[in-house]
Amino acid sequence: MSNDNHKTELTTLLNELMSDTDSKPLHPKNKLLLYSRYVLSKLAWHFTVATLSKTWVTENIDSIANNYIRRWLEVPISGTLSTVFLTNNKFGLSIYPPSVKFIQCQTVLRKALKFSPSESTNDLWKATSNHANIQYDAYNSTKEVLKDFRSGHENKLLKQLTSQGSFFCSVTKFALPQLNKVWSIAQSKLPKNIYNFTIRYINNSLPTRKNLNRWAISSNSDCSFCLSPETLLHIVAGCQFYLDRFTWRHNSVLNFLAHTLQTVDGSTLYADLNGFKSPSILTGDTYRPDLLLSCSNGSLYVAELTTAWL
């Protein structure tokens, strides 16, 4: 096959596989699972034997895959996929575009040539160690390729994307590492609409007035209630007009925690809610927390719940 044949077959194959996956009545997480475990593997042979450039793969193959991924997750063209391409413990979905698979295939091929017991094969590696292939010789394994790719997207979020990287910057700064797995597990169990909402929330691509103005859809970026700039932070926990709503949300979460912790054997629960003993009995009014749990083994757990952006 000529390289043109490979290119035509690649684009046709990917379009067919992604379209078939798209037509299935599946949750977005399962479509991504099919893409990650099946679709990419079907491209590996072409990526290994054809003389393709990384640029061509990025411009032609990645664009097809990314369009479907955006459709499944309802991420607009203005929303970055950098957060999606990160690992689960970085609040991503642990997937990657076809171009990364291509680099991995080239890395495996180059290593096979370099370390072959055949001298003739080794000579082939030396003869092809030119400007087109030297970038693949820099990697020692496919894991290094993936690590470098994700590191680049993390750096992009932290240092280049101001608005869409804001949530990610906050998460990496304040989130507890041991809770990252909890987020991934909880997110995977959400229904489709809420699942997609969390992804758009993380990359700040929800249709806030600030974003609509940035996207040239609306001429006004101010909140219709308090006239402050309507950013994501403002909607979630910053609008003075909705202070009662924030209090209700805070107390609803606190009420759920209190009723759940009431079942702990041999413990005494104090919560800053009607119907519960007040924590001020032990702490005084000045330093009263939202919740306090005294256990029979002498341990004392204090919780201060905030209506925060995160």
Residues 160-185 have pLDDT tens digits of: 888 778 778 877 777 777 777 788 88
Q: Tell me the pLDDT band of 307, cut-offs 50, 70 and 90.
A: low
Tokens 């063209």 found at: 77
For all residues of the chain together, what is the average pLDDT? 89
Indicate if the alpha-carbon torsion angle 10, 13, 19, 24 is positive or negative.
Answer: negative
pLDDT of residue 138 exceeding 80, the answer is yes
Residue 284 φ then ψ, to 5°: 85, 165
219, 213 Cβ separation under 8 angstroms: yes
Give the integer Cα–Cα distance in Å for 72 and 303. 38
Give the integer Cα–Cα distance in Å for 241 and 223. 10
Per-residue tokens: 302: 């204090």
**pLDDT tens digits for range 4-47:** 888 999 999 999 999 999 999 999 999 999 999 999 999 999 99
**pLDDT tens digits for range 189-219:** 999 999 999 999 888 889 999 989 988 899 9
Range from 64-73, 76-85, 229-238 carrying the lowest mean pLDDT? 229-238
Instruction: List b or e across 75-109, with b for residues whose CB sees 16 or more CB atoms inside 10 angstroms.
Output: beeebbbbbbbbbeebbbbbbbbbbbbbbbbbbbb
Helices (H), the chain: 3-23, 28-34, 40-49, 54-56, 63-73, 98-114, 119-127, 134-137, 142-159, 166-174, 180-188, 192-202, 209-214, 232-237, 243-261, 280-283
pLDDT at residue number 308 = 59
Among residues 26, 169, 48, 235, the alpha carbon closest in space to that of 10 is found at 48
Residue 31 φ then ψ, to 5°: -65, -40
